[in-house]
Chain A
C-alpha cells in the first residue's frame, strides 16, 4: 500500500504517509485516506518524505483535500525533497498549506 494513515487520537493529529509516485493512480486511495477518518483532527500532516515524484494531478488532489477539510484546520506538507518542494512553491501552495 502506498498510502498509510496513522491517527494520534490523544494529540488530535493524523499523519497520511505517501510512498513512491504521488500521481493520479492514488486519486481514490488518497481521497479515502482523509474522508474515511472517524472524526476531524486539529492537525493533518501529509508525510511526503518517501515521495519520489509528484505530478500536477497530485497537486489537484491536495487542493481537493484542502477544500474538504475545515479551512481553520492546518494541513502540513512535510518532508518533501527539493524537487517536490520547488513544484509546491511554484504553484504557491504555501498560501493554502504549511510546507515544512
Chain B
C-alpha cells in the first residue's frame, strides 16, 4: 500500500509519514502542486492525503487533476484543512475528494480513516479481479454456445422443411437451445418425428444431439422398428452422457393413414387438436432417454391416430413454463386454449405463426428462461 502525502507544512508531512509507516504503508511526501502531479504518475499511490492550501497553486484544483488522472482506478483522496468551515469541506467533495480530516488530528483518527480506506481499496481491487475473471468466463461461454448453436442448426437443416404437414418452431433461451426437433418422411411414406429436450443448456446438449441425429436419420433410411430405435438412442446417450444428463423426448411414427405409434419419456403431454376442437393426449410414460441401463429400459410403445384435419402438437416444458412480465407461468390450461384456437386455422403455417405470436405477446419483455420447442403435424392422408 502506497500513500502520497501533499502538504506545505513540514510538521504534517512528518506526522503523516510517521503514523502511516507504522501501519506498513510506503509514503512519499510533496509540498507543491506540480511535484504532486509528477509524484502521482511516478509513485502510483493507492491513496492520497492532501492539504488544500498549497505553496504554489490551488489544492482544490489538484484534487480534480488527480481524480482525472486516476481514470478508472479507485484512488481515494483525503483532504486535510485547518479551515474547517462547511464551505471548505463542501468544496473538497465537489472537486472529487473522498474524505475530509480537519487539522489538527490525532493519531487514532488518522489510523481509523486510513484503515477504512485501505479496506475499501482492497475490496475494490478484489472486485476488479473477479469482474475480470467473470468477463473472461462469460466470453468463453458465449463462444462455446455459439459453437453449440452452430452444430445444432446444422443438424436441424437435415430435418424436413415446414409445410402444410409439418411446422417446427424453436426459440432459444437467452443463451442456447438444448431442444432438438427432427422430422423426416421415410421411403414408405410414414413420417418419423423426434422431439427432445436435453438437461441444461450449452455445449453438453449439442454433444448429445449429434449421435441422436445420426441414429435418427439411419432409422429413417433403414425403416428401423420404433422400439428398437428408442433402445438405440437410450443406449448411445447412456454411454456418452455423464450421469446427470439425459434427454426427455417423444419418438413418433405417423403412418400415411394417420396411425400414430409413439414412445415418450419425461415430456409433458402432447396434444391432438381434433377438427371438432376437442383435445386428446399423448402421454409419456417412461423415464427420459439416457438414464436406464439397457436391461431396465422399457421400449413399449403406445398408439393413437390422426384424422384428416386433426393436428398433433408437441411442446417442450419451456412453453408450459413460459413466464409473463408478472412472473406467472403460462401453464397447461392456457396452452390448451391457445392450441384449440390457433389450430382451427386450416393453414398449418398460419396457425403456427399465430401460436408464436401469442407466446411472444404473453412473454412481453420478460426474459425467456428455457428453450421453447413447438412441433405441429398434420396427416397427409386425404
Interface segment among B43-51, B55-63, B101-109, B285-293: the answer is B285-293
A92 contacts B265, C-beta separation under 8 Å = yes
- Cross-interface CB contact of B291 among A55, A57, A61, A63, cutoff 8 Å: A63
| Bound-complex Cα distance A36 to B265 (A) | 32
Given the known inter-chain contacts A57-B200, A60-B200, please indicate yes or no for A92 contacting B287, CB distance below 8 A.
yes
| Bound-complex Cα distance A87 to B266 (A) | 8
B198 (CB) vs chain A CBs: closest residue: A56
- Cross-interface CB contact of A91 among B242, B243, B245, B288, cutoff 8 Å: B288
The proximity string for A residues 78-100 relative to B, scoring 1 for CB distances below 8 Å and 0 otherwise, is: 00000000010011110110000
Main secondary structure of the interface of A (DSSP, over half): helix
Given the known inter-chain contacts A91-B266, A92-B266, please indicate yes or no for A56 contacting B285, CB distance below 8 A.
no
User: Is A67 an interface residue, CB under 8 A from the partner?
Assistant: yes
User: Is A5 an interface residue, CB under 8 A from the partner?
Assistant: no
User: Is B199 an interface residue, CB under 8 A from the partner?
Assistant: yes
User: Is B268 an interface residue, CB under 8 A from the partner?
Assistant: yes
A90 contacts B268, C-beta separation under 8 Å = yes
User: Is A24 an interface residue, CB under 8 A from the partner?
Assistant: yes
- Cross-interface CB contact of A95 among B200, B245, B284, B287, cutoff 8 Å: B287
A67 contacts B243, C-beta separation under 8 Å = yes
Residues of B within 8 A of A16 (CB): none
| Bound-complex Cα distance A27 to B199 (A) | 13
Residues of A within 8 A of B197 (CB): 56
| Bound-complex Cα distance A87 to B200 (A) | 15
Q: How large is the interface on A (under 10, 10 to 19, 20 to 34, 35 or more residues)?
A: 10 to 19
Residues of A within 8 A of B285 (CB): 92
A91 contacts B287, C-beta separation under 8 Å = yes
Q: How large is the interface on B (under 10, 10 to 19, 20 to 34, 35 or more residues)?
A: 20 to 34
B199 contacts A59, C-beta separation under 8 Å = yes
| Bound-complex Cα distance A96 to B287 (A) | 10
Residues of A within 8 A of B243 (CB): 60, 63-64, 67
A57 contacts B244, C-beta separation under 8 Å = yes
- Cross-interface CB contact of A56 among B200, B242, B284, cutoff 8 Å: B200
Q: How many Å from the CB of B159 to the closest CB on chain A? A: 23
A63 contacts B267, C-beta separation under 8 Å = no
Q: How many Å from the CB of B373 to the closest CB on chain A? A: 13
| Bound-complex Cα distance A57 to B199 (A) | 6
User: Is B343 an interface residue, CB under 8 A from the partner?
Assistant: no
B265 contacts A63, C-beta separation under 8 Å = no
Residues of B within 8 A of A63 (CB): 243-244, 246, 291
B269 (CB) vs chain A CBs: closest residue: A90
| Bound-complex Cα distance A60 to B292 (A) | 13
Q: How many Å from the CB of A29 to the closest CB on chain B? A: 14
The proximity string for B residues 57-82 relative to A, scoring 1 for CB distances below 8 Å and 0 otherwise, is: 00000000000000000000000000
User: Is B97 an interface residue, CB under 8 A from the partner?
Assistant: no
User: Is B248 an interface residue, CB under 8 A from the partner?
Assistant: yes
| Bound-complex Cα distance A90 to B243 (A) | 19
Counting chain B CB atoms within 10 Å of each CB, the highest count among A57, A92, A96 belongs to A92
- Cross-interface CB contact of A61 among B244, B292, B317, B370, cutoff 8 Å: B244
Seen from chain B, the residues whose Cβ lies within 8 Å of a Cβ on chain A are: 197, 199-200, 242-246, 248, 265-268, 284-288, 291-292, 317, 370
Q: A59-B199, A59-B246 are in contact. List 9 more A-B contacts (CB 8 A).
A: A27-B244, A56-B197, A56-B248, A90-B248, A90-B268, A90-B284, A91-B266, A95-B287, A96-B287
List 6 contacting pairs A-B, 8 Å CB cutoff, sorted by A: A59-B199, A63-B244, A91-B248, A91-B287, A92-B285, A92-B287
Seen from chain A, the residues whose Cβ lies within 8 Å of a Cβ on chain B are: 24, 27, 55-57, 59-61, 63-64, 67, 87, 90-93, 95-96
